[in-house]
């Protein structure tokens, strides 16, 4: 069975193949109707073609249009450009379906395709027509989506003829509404909850004490609500009023910030007004609340970095010295010397970049070749300009994906424990992952009857991926 005749497989991989082919040209690629011996002779001429009776032809479910295979009605797609819009005018990619397929769009003729209209529509008087009571035509896509005031579960359910339209999840039973900043001059009663149509601007504007969060208006602390979606970040609806969630501290009525031990980020900061347990800060009464890599010093009652860690000036964190375990370079000391987290080893640790190693070969990134105080990557490896790790070229041994040079399309082939070219990567003979070959257009492609598993970077028998 041709690997690319299956309509529900390898959408991402096929897209990558198309992009790469366009970039490097169709060197040795076989065009439609050209002679072939395997499917891989055809895929760079057109990723949706296969070798049939020794000629490159469009796979089942596709039609040749202007030398390109386009998806028929009922065939999977990711955008309307994937579909055959010539044979049946008005065909679009129906992305409202769980698995998107080509269908006939709203307002288009369906005389000869009575059952092929987009979801939530029907062929009436030989024209695809949206279900009037619940759906309306989204003019930009010709899809039938939920009209204003209709129930929804996500904003993508709603038609966007007025922008922005949002699924108002602050309601007990969400419906499509006009979001904050949306034009409401024609439909003044359709603004999202806790907002109104401003008479001067004719735009939806949030009411007092209900600030905008995205395109919704959510309650500050103590304001009325029906669910958690109706409250500011890190707050929930408790007894019909907004209150900070467990682990968060109120800052007036306008914000909830993380208390000791609560996960934080730039978007969800800590409460530094009342709680400060950075390195060097007092930990009296909170001996277990020092930042990671620090402990409460019994003598000074201040948080102090543990052995193997160095205090960063701002924001006074304790970061790992060379040899300390890590998960990312942000875990490592950037003050004494800018260390990186060496993810190429089985148990990642902080290590020095090649330029900083000098005679310290013990703490230098793996796969190095150091001599006379000068360090470079070992033969077969090259330094990544972003991670500063030494990554392997084709046929270098590997234990994980970080061992291989992903920037040139190389992955760790788990079958051989060697770095190999991934599917869709440019290649020469014997460079591709197991069960793949370097196709005629110099791109790696899975062998016939194999399909690409993108999560494991492997070509597996077709039945295993379905």
Per-residue pLDDT tens digits of the chain, which is 466 residues long? 233 333 333 343 444 444 344 433 334 568 899 998 888 888 777 889 999 999 999 999 999 999 999 999 999 999 999 999 999 999 999 999 999 999 999 999 999 999 999 999 999 999 999 998 899 999 999 999 999 999 999 999 999 999 899 999 999 999 999 999 999 999 999 999 999 999 999 999 999 999 999 999 999 999 999 999 999 999 999 999 999 999 999 999 999 999 888 888 778 888 777 666 678 888 888 888 888 899 999 889 998 999 999 998 766 889 999 999 999 999 999 888 899 999 999 999 999 999 999 989 899 999 999 988 899 999 999 999 999 999 999 999 999 999 999 999 999 999 999 999 999 899 999 999 999 999 878 889 999 889 999 899 999 997 765 5
pLDDT value for 201: 96
- The DSSP code sequence of 46-78 is -TTEEEETTEEEEPTTEEEETTEEEEPTTSB-S
In a domain, 92, yes or no: yes
Tell me how far apart the alpha carbons of residues 129 and 121 are, in angstroms, rounded to a whole number: 5
pLDDT value for 148: 95
In a domain, 197, yes or no: no
pLDDT value for 16: 40
Under 8 Å between Cβ of 436 and 394: no
In a domain, 403, yes or no: yes
Query: Residue 433 sits in which domain range?
Result: 368-465
Domain boundary residue, one of 130, 154, 184: 130
Under 8 Å between Cβ of 63 and 75: no
pLDDT value for 26: 38
Domain count, the chain: 2
Tell me how far apart the alpha carbons of residues 162 and 202 are, in angstroms, rounded to a whole number: 13
Beta 340-342 vs 255-258: how paired, if at all?
Answer: unpaired
In a domain, 271, yes or no: no
In a domain, 38, yes or no: yes
175 backbone dihedrals φ, ψ, rounded to 5°: -135, 165
Domain boundary residue, one of 80, 107, 130: 130
In a domain, 349, yes or no: no
Tell me how far apart the alpha carbons of residues 29 and 430 are, in angstroms, rounded to a whole number: 19
In a domain, 210, yes or no: no
Tell me how far apart the alpha carbons of residues 42 and 55 are, in angstroms, rounded to a whole number: 9
pLDDT value for 25: 38
Tell me how far apart the alpha carbons of residues 199 and 17 are, in angstroms, rounded to a whole number: 52
pLDDT value for 315: 66
DSSP 8-state symbol, 448: T
Domain boundary residue, one of 103, 130, 157: 130
- DSSP E strands: which ranges in 308-423? 309-311, 318-320, 340-342, 349-351, 368-371, 374-377, 381-383, 390-392, 410-413, 418-421
Tell me how far apart the alpha carbons of residues 363 and 161 are, in angstroms, rounded to a whole number: 59
pLDDT value for 40: 83
Under 8 Å between Cβ of 105 and 91: yes
Tell me how far apart the alpha carbons of residues 404 and 394 are, in angstroms, rounded to a whole number: 8
pLDDT value for 88: 96
pLDDT value for 464: 62
In a domain, 336, yes or no: no
SS3 24: helix
């Amino acid at each position: 069975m041709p690997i690319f005749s299956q309509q529900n497989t390898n959408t991402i991989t096929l897209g990558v193949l198309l992009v790469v082919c366009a970039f490097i040209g169709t060197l040795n690629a076989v065009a439609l109707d050209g002679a072939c011996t395997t499917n891989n002779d055809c895929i760079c001429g057109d990723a949706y073609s296969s070798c049939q009776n020794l000629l490159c032809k469009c796979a089942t479910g596709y039609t040749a249009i202007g030398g390109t295979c386009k998806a028929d009605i009922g065939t999977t797609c990711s955008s309307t450009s994937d579909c055959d819009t010539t044979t049946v005018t008005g065909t679009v990619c129906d992305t409202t379906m769980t698995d998107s397929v080509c269908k006939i769009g709203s307002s288009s003729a369906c005389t000869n395709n009575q059952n092929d209209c987009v979801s939530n529509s029907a062929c009436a008087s030989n024209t695809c027509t949206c279900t009037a009571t619940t759906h309306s035509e989204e003019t930009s896509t010709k899809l039938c989506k939920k009209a204003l005031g209709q129930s929804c579960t996500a904003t993508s359910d709603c038609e966007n003829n007025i922008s922005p339209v949002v699924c108002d999840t602050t309601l007990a039973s969400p419906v499509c509404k006009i979001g904050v900043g949306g034009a409401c001059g024609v439909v003044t009663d359709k603004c999202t909850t806790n907002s109104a149509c401003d008479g001067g601007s004719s735009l939806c504007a949030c009411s007092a004490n209900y600030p905008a969060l995205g395109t919704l208006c959510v309650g500050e602390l103590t304001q009325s609500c029906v669910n958690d979606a109706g409250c500011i970040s890190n707050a929930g609806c408790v007894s019909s009023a907004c209150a900070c969630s467990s682990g968060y501290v109120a800052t007036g009525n306008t914000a909830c910030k993380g208390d000791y031990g609560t996960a934080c980020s730039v978007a969800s900061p800590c409460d530094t007004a009342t709680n400060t347990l950075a390195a060097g800060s007092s930990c009296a009464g909170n001996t277990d609340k020092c930042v990671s890599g620090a402990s409460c010093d019994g003598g000074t009652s201040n948080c102090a970095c543990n052995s193997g860690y160095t205090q960063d000036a701002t924001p006074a964190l304790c970061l790992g010295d060379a040899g300390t375990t890590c998960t990312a370079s942000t875990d490592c000391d950037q003050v004494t010397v800018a260390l990186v987290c060496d993810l190429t080893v089985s148990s990642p640790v902080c290590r020095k970049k090649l330029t900083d190693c000098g005679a310290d070969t013990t703490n230098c990134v793996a796969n190095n070749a150091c001599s006379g105080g000068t360090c470079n990557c070992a033969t077969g490896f090259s330094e990544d300009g972003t991670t500063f790790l030494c990554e392997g070229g084709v046929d270098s041994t590997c234990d994980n994906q970080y061992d291989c040079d992903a920037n040139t399309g190389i992955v760790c082939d788990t079958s051989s424990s060697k770095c190999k070219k991934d599917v869709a990567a440019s290649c020469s003979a014997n460079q591709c992952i197991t069960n793949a070959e370097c196709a005629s257009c110099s791109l790696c492609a899975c062998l016939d009857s194999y399909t690409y598993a993108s999560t494991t970077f492997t070509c597996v028998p077709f039945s295993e991926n379905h």
